[in-house]
Amino acid sequence: MNPIRLSLAICLTTIFNTAWPQDVKNNLEEAFIKVESKVIEWRHDLHQNPELSNREFKTAAKVAALLRSLNFDEVQTGVAHTGVVGTLVGKNPGPVVALRADMDGLPVMEQTGSPFASKARGEYNGQDVPVMHACGHDTHVAMLMGAAEVLANNRDQLSGTVKFIFQPAEEGPPAGEDGGAAMMIVEGVLDGPNPPEAILGLHAWPNDIGTLTYRSGGFMASADNLQINVIGRQTHGSSPWLGVDPIYVAAQIATAIQGIPSRHLDITNSPAVITIGSIHGGVRGNIIPDEVEMMGTIRTFDVGVREKLHTMLRNTVHAIAEANGATATVTMEGYAPVTGNNPELLKKMMPTLNWAAGAENVVEGNLITGAEDFSFFQERIPGLFLMLGVIDPSIPRSDRPSNHSPMFIADDRALMTGVRTLVGFALDYPTVHGK
């Protein structure tokens, strides 16, 4: 036979004997149905037993036990304190991708009235506090556990390797501790002889059940923690001219800096927010104290705007303090860069998202001033970060509790859309990237 014809025959035989990703995913419908009740059960248990950042011991043990029972090729525990990383190698060669879920709860008293509501308590910065999954991380973990079971039981359909990253402390580690995505990266979760080349994360959001909301490029804001200490000179409240009143100075600073975005930045180009959420100073109404501590947050979507805002904020604070005979220190500490969706990766994976949720349920969203430390993974490799709708559409949007509310609760009917999205990403990525 002609060598060219022989090569063509071999190539065609390979093509027709290999299932296309769409066929593979369609063949998994029974697996999705089978795992759904487990995903719901896991979610209820996780919601009822939340744990705070860097203290996700029981959650991590539950995850690790499942991965080991599924005969994962490797299960690492204790990553960034309590993180779990599972490695699943498919039957066929291909690239490495990563799927991520965050595990921690919040110091919030649950008020949902759910039959599986949390009554848990924990210690946060030395205080005994209630604990709740008020941001949907219980659903994130349960969905990734479901994806792990589906893919492990069908690894003969999987090309390449999947890293399952169960991350602690997305909400931020306790004072004086490291943690979160940044610490997992330092400890090598994206390294090794075959590092992941793309990553997907999902977040429960108060949109309609089963919708996937995306935005190409920047989606969620970068966040900086802000602390301002104003130092005056203590005196009697009846004679403020004998001292320097840091409370009076702090009030001027709070008003001035929160006006920087609206009066000094072009918000039509890129939005920005400065918020002062905490002011502490003094112990009595008739004593002007020596010092006031102010704490807040800064949200931006552009590196240049962020730098300009930081400079203006420092200059404003110091100028107001100096004009009043006080001094001030300004500390700005980055929590997370901008989180978004790699435009090329988003375009290539759009058919997968349409398959997972239905094309009519995949919608473009607006900018979100909330922040996510998933962005640290995206600084290293291309990634997608999508909002999964978890609220009954019959509930008016004005009545839907936001994330971090004591009333926030996800609807179980949204979970399998998340599982399908995670599984679909792992199966389709090798094909859409020609690997």
Give the type of residue at 78. Answer: G
If DSSP states are collapsed to H, E and C, what string results for the chain? Answer: CCHHHHHHHHHHHHHHCCCCHHHHHHCCHHHHHHHHHHHHHHHHHHHHCCCCCCCCHHHHHHHHHHHHHCCCCEEEEEECCCEEEEEEECCEEEEEEEEEEECCCECCCCCCCCCCCCCCEEEECCEEEECECCCCHHHHHHHHHHHHHHHHCCHHHCEEEEEEEEECCCCCCCCCCCCHHHHHHHCCCCCCCCCCCCEEEEEEEEEECCCEEECCEEEECEEEEEEEEEECECEECCCHHHCECHHHHHHHHHHHHCCHHHHHCCCCCCCEEEEEEEEECCCCCCEECCEEEEEEEEEECCHHHHHHHHHHHHHHHHHHHHHCCCEEEEEEEEEECCEEECHHHHHHHHHHHHHHHCHHHEEECCCECCCCCCHHHHHHCCEEEEEEEEECCCCCHHHCCCCCCCCCCCCHHHHHHHHHHHHHHHHHHHHHCCC
Choose, from 51, 104, 149, 171, the residue flagged as catalytic: 104
> Does the active-site annotation cover 45?
no
Distance CA 7, CA 5 (A): 5
Q: Which own/partner contact pairs does 393-401 have at CB distance under 8 Å and 24+ positions apart? A: 393/208, 393/209, 397/206, 400/206, 401/206
Distance CA 12, CA 307 (A): 56
> Does the active-site annotation cover 170?
yes
Choose, from 51, 102, 170, 372, the residue flagged as catalytic: 170
Question: Which residues are the active-site residues?
Answer: 104, 170
